[in-house]
Structure 1
């Protein structure tokens, strides 16, 4: 394991981490011939499940037109499909289609490396890490929602 980082240096380490995650996301998207927003939307759909185009637009921060074009691109690439809403056939639901093989191939090396890093932590340390990730994700989500309103 690496040496502990002071609180003052922690901010820089954290910013480097976030930048690396974003850089990897952009590189992964390009390797799958997707845009970064396309990959972000696909991730949202895989985590949250099927949703209306309006919900997807809200979660990605896109307006109606760009959301429609985003769904068109993902549908054309075979990552999602539009299906009628079972509760209201006038509405459409966007749902992910399986697990994209190209994306899995692209992100597997990073996932393996992260898995190796996590294997070096004790169960108690992992509990703390995953508690942090869950709480930080919620904090970032709330902050983004405040910025949008």
Structure 2
């Protein structure tokens, strides 16, 4: 393994986070708001409790986050089809500028990926899928070990 692998990877993660924050600001959103919208668009409607677990927020900040997104027209609260006593949060819109804001990064990343062979792309996307699960599992372990739980 490369001696600088950890540093290269940490720089990559930092750059992704920096871009996420800059994209959110450019769309006049907070980074957590844009992150929550992404979760909802990828996973579909969920309860505020599920969104809280997925974002790592406690219930109070999650309620305020959903309030902001609902007021901006990006989500709506609806009765759960399974249990009318529960509420689900449904994505109903996206920031109008999001595609424009994301276009330069998408183009650059597309250019980079275009330089890889199909076999290399298979390895990259296998890594993304497996690393995604690993990070989610590690985050869940940290949540369950947190002193306030």
Q: Do both proteins adopt the same fold according to a TM-score greater than 0.5, normalized to the shorter chain?
A: yes
Give the equivalent residue in structure 1 for 2:147: none
How is 1:106-145 mapped onto 2 (pairs within 5 angstroms)? 106-145=101-140
Report deviation, 1:142.
Answer: 0.9
1:23 corresponds in structure 2 to: 18
Gaps of at least 5 residues in structure 2 are 145-149
Q: Are 1:11 and 2:18 matched, yes or no?
A: no
**Structure 2 matches for 1:32-47, cutoff 5 A?**
32-47=27-42
What is the alpha-carbon distance in structure 1 between the residues aligned to residue 97 and residue 69 of structure 2? 13
TM-score by length of 1: 0.92
* 1:65-80 map, 5 Å: 65-80=60-75
CA RMSD across the alignment: 1.2
State the distance in 1 between where 2:81 and 2:138 align. Answer: 33
* Aligned-pair CA distance for 1:55: 0.6
Answer yes or no: is the 8 Å Cα contact 2:73–2:93 preserved in 1: no
Aligned to 1:148: 143
Runs of 4+ deviating beyond 3 Å = none
- Shifted more, 60-69 versus 19-28: the winner is 60-69
Deviation at 1:100, TM superposition (A): 3.2
Partner of 1:3: none
TM-score by length of 2: 0.92
